[in-house]
Amino acid sequence: MQRSTASHSPALDRRIARLRELAEAEPRLEGVLLYGSWTLGEADAHSDIEAYLYVRDAHAEDFDGREFLGRLAPLKLAYTNMYGILAVVFDDLMRGEFHLVAAGPGIEEVPSWRGTVHLPDPGAAVLLDRGGRLTAAAARLADPCPPEPGPTAQQLADELANWTLMLAHVLGRGETARAHALLHTVVAPQQLQLCRLLRGSTTHWLTPSRALEQDLPAADRDRYTATTAPAVLPAVRTAARRSWQWSRELATEAAARWGTRLPAALHEEIGVLLERG
């Protein structure tokens, strides 16, 4: 069943409607494809607008994305971010991320996103399609493609062991800030993914902390909270130990369910290092 793209953000709805009007009137654009919370029916007053602007190949080098988006609404900020995406801030503080892509190769790439992008209602996500190719490509993303449990669990369990070992060594050096960053930006997302896999809650797979309060049981939320800490060495050490204990429990649960490998001796050694740190 397709999910509705109805949002709880009238401002975003109006901006998307305006983007459609501008795109239809801009002959250099061949297609526009939305992605993100609006296409999942999860947009609210805090959501941004995310889209691919497919520029006709002949104009790929001369199309001015900043100028075009300035017609959508006045811009307070516009720059190319670290991922090569045109990031903007509109006058009402709504954020936007726009990929400016040559239509030829860009549209051909869309089906390869299966497994990383889900468009429950491709018809609503496609704001402009002059030739029909974009609609056909987006339709390939209509069905969810959840991660394969066994191999994914093995990958995540191995990642958690590897990165937590690094965390233990960093703590051993007394590098508080680096350990804090590792714990919260590297270990925690993979931990939450493994937890989501075990709970059968993979809707927000790519951003596993999203809607955590609604998606996961209270017990898991409490375990996650216990792995967070201020950037103070004793607190980070305590959080790291709690994090590794939870990772081990998740890995053990995965092994029991899917037969994944469980290097018990290594796990014990990592625990010993964390206790020393």
Domains by residue range for the chain, with CATH: 10-139 (3.30.460.10), 149-276 (1.20.120.330)
Helix, strand, or coil (residue 53): strand
CA–centroid distance for 94 within its chain: 19
Detail the DSSP E strand segments found in 103-194.
126-129
pTM: 0.86
pLDDT tens per residue, range 167-198: 999 999 999 999 999 999 999 999 999 999 99
Tell me which amino acid residue 98 is: F
pLDDT at 65: 98
Q: How far is CA 64 from CA 16, 51, 57, 107, in A?
A: 19, 15, 14, 20
pLDDT at 7: 52
Chunk the chain into consecutive blocks of 10 residues (it has 277) and report each block's average pLDDT, rounded to whole numbers. Answer: 55 95 98 94 92 97 97 98 97 97 98 92 96 97 94 98 98 96 98 98 93 96 96 97 98 98 97 91
Rounded Cα gap, residues 60 and 102, in angstroms: 5
With helix as H, strand as E and coil as C, how does 70-97 read? Answer: HHHCCEEEEEECCCCCEEEEECCCCEEE
In degrees and rounded to multiples of 5, residue 90 shows phi and psi of -80, 170
pLDDT at 6: 52
Rounded Cα gap, residues 119 and 38, in angstroms: 10
Rounded Cα gap, residues 257 and 125, in angstroms: 37
- Cβ neighbours of residue 243 under 8 Å, at least 6 residues apart? 164, 183, 187, 188, 191, 227
> Which residues on neighbouring strands pair with residue 35, listed in sequence order?
50
pLDDT at 1: 32
